[in-house]
Amino acid sequence: MQTYFVLGNLFSFVAAICLAVSVFKKNTKDLLLWQVMEVVFCILSNIALVTYSALTTNSVALVRDILAFKNKLTKNITIILVLLSVFIGLMVNNRGVIGFFPMAASVVYTVFLYATRNEQQIRFALIINLMLWFVHDFYVGAYPSALMDAGLSVWTLFNIFKNIKHDEK
């Protein structure tokens, strides 16, 4: 079991690095490409850490991110992905209330990805997403991801305010 915990945290660390790189990208396409890679490593971490709700949520998120990257995220696909995230997540949730956090994070981020291409709004949705994942990741022991979630939330919020002040000039 210890091997799976270490492996889960190793994948979590790589996922956190991919997510950190995505936050620094200037355009939405690059941001989404790095988030596709992040979700792949999150899935591997979820398998090792045996967190099925997060695993299914991340699997649906992988499809979402690929479609958003290819600019093919339509209203109908968004609705289907949200319903899949919630329905499958509820069916396989083995973490009780904490299992709802990945589902909520995915739903919020999916809706924002469909509704806007504005980087500021996507970054705001990312903060909500990161905070929900922080709670989950900390609880299940994915500590590298939890630390990165918290740090990137603060950094992203700082950049949102910095861009607002820059736009006002």
Query: Is the pTM of the predicted complex or chain greater than 0.85?
Result: no
Give the pLDDT confidence score for residue 38 in this predicted structure: 93
Q: Of all helices (H) and strands (E), which one includes residue 73?
A: none
* Residue 155: alpha-carbon gap to chain centroid: 16
Give the pLDDT confidence score for residue 169 in this predicted structure: 63
Give the pLDDT confidence score for residue 80 in this predicted structure: 94
Closest CA to 22 of 60, 65, 52: 65
Rounded distance, CA 78 to CA 149, Å? Answer: 24
Handedness of CA 128, 133, 136, 137 (dihedral sign): negative
Give the pLDDT confidence score for residue 134 in this predicted structure: 95
Closest CA to 129 of 154, 145, 156, 106: 106
CB 67 within 8 A of CB 58: no
**Burial code of 143-161, b = ≥16 C-beta within 10 A, e = fewer?**
ebbbbbbbebbebbeeebe
One-letter amino acid at 40 equals V
Local confidence pLDDT in tens for the 169 residues of the chain: 689 989 999 999 999 899 888 877 878 788 889 999 999 999 999 999 988 888 888 999 999 889 988 989 899 999 999 999 889 888 988 889 998 998 899 899 888 888 887 878 888 898 999 999 999 999 988 888 899 899 989 988 988 888 777 766 6
Give the pLDDT confidence score for residue 162 in this predicted structure: 83
